[in-house]
C-alpha cells in the first residue's frame, strides 16, 4: 500500500480478528499486517510501547514513527525500522529524537520525518529531519525549517512537499539540500492534515471552518477545491481519482460554511469518505459511509491490486461491520 499510514488509536493493545479463525482474536501491540489480497491477518507482529503515528515502506523495510520508547523490547526513541517479512527491529536507525514525529516519506535515498521535532541526537532540527535509507544516519545537510508542526510529507521527483500548521501551510523543498523551492507558491490559509502527489499536481487535505480538499498545480496555483462540514484528515490518488477521508458528514455545494463548518448552500451526503475526479474535482457517486465521530485518519492505495485501504475510528462502512480498517476493490 502507500507510504503514509497513520495510527491514532489510544488503546494499549488491540485485539484483532484473525482471517482464518472467525470470532477468534489475536493480540497485537500497536502494529499489525494484513494480506492485501485476502484480508487475512499476517503473523507480522512487532510491538511498540506507545502510539504509532506514521508508517512508510521502502526496500523490504518498514519505518515507523510516533510516541514510543521501545519496539520489541529494544530502545527506539520515537523512530524505528523493521523487517517487512519478520517484524524484527533492524539496526542503523537508532537516534534520540526531541519532540514528536507525525509524518514519514521515503525517496531520493532518504527517510524524511516531520512533526514537532526540535532536535535529533542533540543537533537542532526545526520540525523536519532526514536520514540515509541505507545506513540510517542523520543527514547533516538536509535542514529545512518550519515555524510550526509538520503534519504531512510527500516525496516526489525533485521535491519534498511539506504540509502542516506553519505559515503558508504547504511548501516544497529540495530533496537533497532542503532549500525552499520558490517556484511552488500556493496560497493556503488553513492547516494541512495530509498530502498526495501525482505528475499533474498536489492534493491537500486542509482543516479549517469545515474543511477542504484542494488541488494545486505544480506551480502551487489552486485548480479546484471541495468543502466539507468537517475536516478531511487523509488523502490519496489512484487512476485519476482522489479519495479523501475525515470526520465530515457532507460535502458542501459551495465554499460557504457557517457555525462549526455547516454547509450554507446545501450539501451532498458523504460520511467520512468521498471521491472526486483528480482533473476537475467533480464529486463522484462512490459512497462508502462510515460511522462514529472521529472518522477516517489514514488512506493508502495499491495500483497493482486496485485496492484502497482506510483506517480510523469507525466500526461500520455502509452499515456493514468494519472495525477500524476497511479495504475496497476499485
- Residue 263's domain comprises 100-132+145-329
The reply to whether 36 falls in a domain is no
Cα angle vertex 10, ends 76, 60, to 5°?
45
What pLDDT does 4 receive?
Answer: 38
Q: Please give the share of the chain, as a percent, with pLDDT higher than 90.
A: 90
141 pLDDT band (50/70/90 cuts)? very high
C-alpha cell at 139: 543527514
Interacting residues of 311 by C-beta distance below 8 A, sequence separation 6+: 5, 6, 7, 296, 297, 298, 299, 324, 325
The pLDDT tens digits of the residues spanning 276-330 come to 999 999 999 999 999 999 999 999 999 999 999 999 999 999 999 999 999 999 8
What is the DSSP code (8-state) at residue 282?
A: P
Cα torsion through 242, 243, 246, 249, rounded to 10: 100
CA distance 131 to 138: 4
Instruction: Say if pTM beats, i.e. exceeds, 0.85.
Output: yes
**87: in domain:** no
Confidence at 23, pLDDT banded by 50, 70, 90: low
What three-state secondary structure class fits 219?
Answer: coil
What pLDDT, on the 0 to 100 scale, is given for residue 14? 41
Cα(81)–Cα(95) distance, integer angstroms? 11
pLDDT band, residue 6 (cuts 50/70/90): very low
Residue 264 domain-assigned (yes or no): yes
Q: What is the CATH number of the domain that holds 303?
A: 2.130.10.10
Answer yes or no: is 39 within a domain.
Answer: no
H helix and E strand count, the chain: 0, 31
Find, among 177, 120, 190, 183, the residue nearest to 151 by Cα: 190
Grid cell at residue 7: 495510527
- Please compute the mean of the pLDDT values over residues 150-175 and round it to a whole number: 97
Place of cell 504531512: 152
Gap between the Cα atoms of 138 and 127, Å rounded: 14
Domain count, the chain: 1
Chain centroid to CA 81: how far? Answer: 17
**Mean per-residue pLDDT, 8-25:** 45
Other beta carbons less than 10 A from residue 319's beta carbon: 8
- Is 79 inside any structural domain? no
Average pLDDT, the chain: 93
Question: In this structure, how many other beta carbons lie within 10 angstroms of the beta carbon of residue 277?
Answer: 14
Instruction: Give the span between the Cα atoms of 94 and 77, in whole angstroms.
Output: 8
Q: Residue 252 falls within a domain, yes or no?
A: yes
β-strand partners of 232: 246
Residue 88 included in any domain? no
Pairwise CA distance, residues 274 & 230, whole Å = 12
Classify residue 28: in a domain, yes or no: no
Amino acid at each position: 500500500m502507500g507510504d503514509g499510514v497513520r495510527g491514532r488509536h489510544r488503546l494499549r493493545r488491540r485485539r484483532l480478528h484473525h482471517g482464518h479463525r472467525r470470532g477468534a482474536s489475536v493480540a497485537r501491540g500497536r502494529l499489525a499486517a494484513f494480506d492485501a489480497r485476502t484480508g487475512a491477518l499476517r503473523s507480522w507482529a512487532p510491538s511498540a510501547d506507545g502510539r504509532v503515528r506514521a508508517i512508510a515502506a521502502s526496500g523490504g523495510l518498514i519505518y515507523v514513527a510516533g510516541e514510543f520508547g521501545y519496539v520489541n523490547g529494544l530502545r527506539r526513541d520515537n523512530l524505528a525500522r523493521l523487517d517487512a517479512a519478520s517484524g524484527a527491529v533492524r539496526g542503523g536507525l537508532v537516534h534520540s529524537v526531541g519532540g514528536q514525529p507525525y509524518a514519514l516519506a521515503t525517496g531520493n535515498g532518504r527517510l524524511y520525518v516531520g512533526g514537532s521535532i526540535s532536535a535529533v541526537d542533540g543537533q537542532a532540527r526545526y520540525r523536519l529531519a532526514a536520514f540515509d535509507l541505507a545506513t540510517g544516519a542523520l543527514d547533516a545537510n538536509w535542514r529545512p525549517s518550519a515555524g510550526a508542526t509538520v503534519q504531512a510529507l510527500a516525496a516526489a521527483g525533485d521535491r519534498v512537499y511539506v504540509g502542516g500548521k506553519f505559515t503558508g501551510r504547504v511548501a516544497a523543498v529540495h530533496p537533497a539540500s532542503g532549500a525552499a523551492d520558490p517556484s511552488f507558491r500556493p496560497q493556503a490559509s488553513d492547516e494541512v492534515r495530509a498530502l498526495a502527489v501525482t505528475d499533474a499536481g498536489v492534493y491537500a487535505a486542509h482543516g479549517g471552518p469545515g474543511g477542504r480538499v484542494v488541488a494545486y498545480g505544480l506551480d502551487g496555483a489552486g485548480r479546484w477545491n471541495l468543502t466539507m462540514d468537517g475536516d478531511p484528515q487523509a488523502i490519496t490518488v489512484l487512476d485519476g481519482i482522489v479519495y479523501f477521508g475525515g470526520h465530515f458528514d457532507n460535502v458542501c455545494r459551495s465554499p460557504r460554511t457557517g457555525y462549526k463548518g455547516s454547509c450554507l448552500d446545501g450539501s451532498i451526503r458523504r460520511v467520512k469518505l468521498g471521491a472526486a475526479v483528480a482533473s476537475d474535482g467533480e464529486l463522484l457517486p462512490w459512497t462508502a459511509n462510515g460511522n462514529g465521530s472521529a472518522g477516517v485518519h489514514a488512506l493508502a492505495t495499491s495500483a497493482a491490486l486496485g485496492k484502497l485501504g482506510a483506517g480510523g475510528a469507525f466500526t461500520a462502512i455502509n452499515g456493514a461491520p468494519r472495525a477500524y480498517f476497511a479495504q475496497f476493490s476499485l
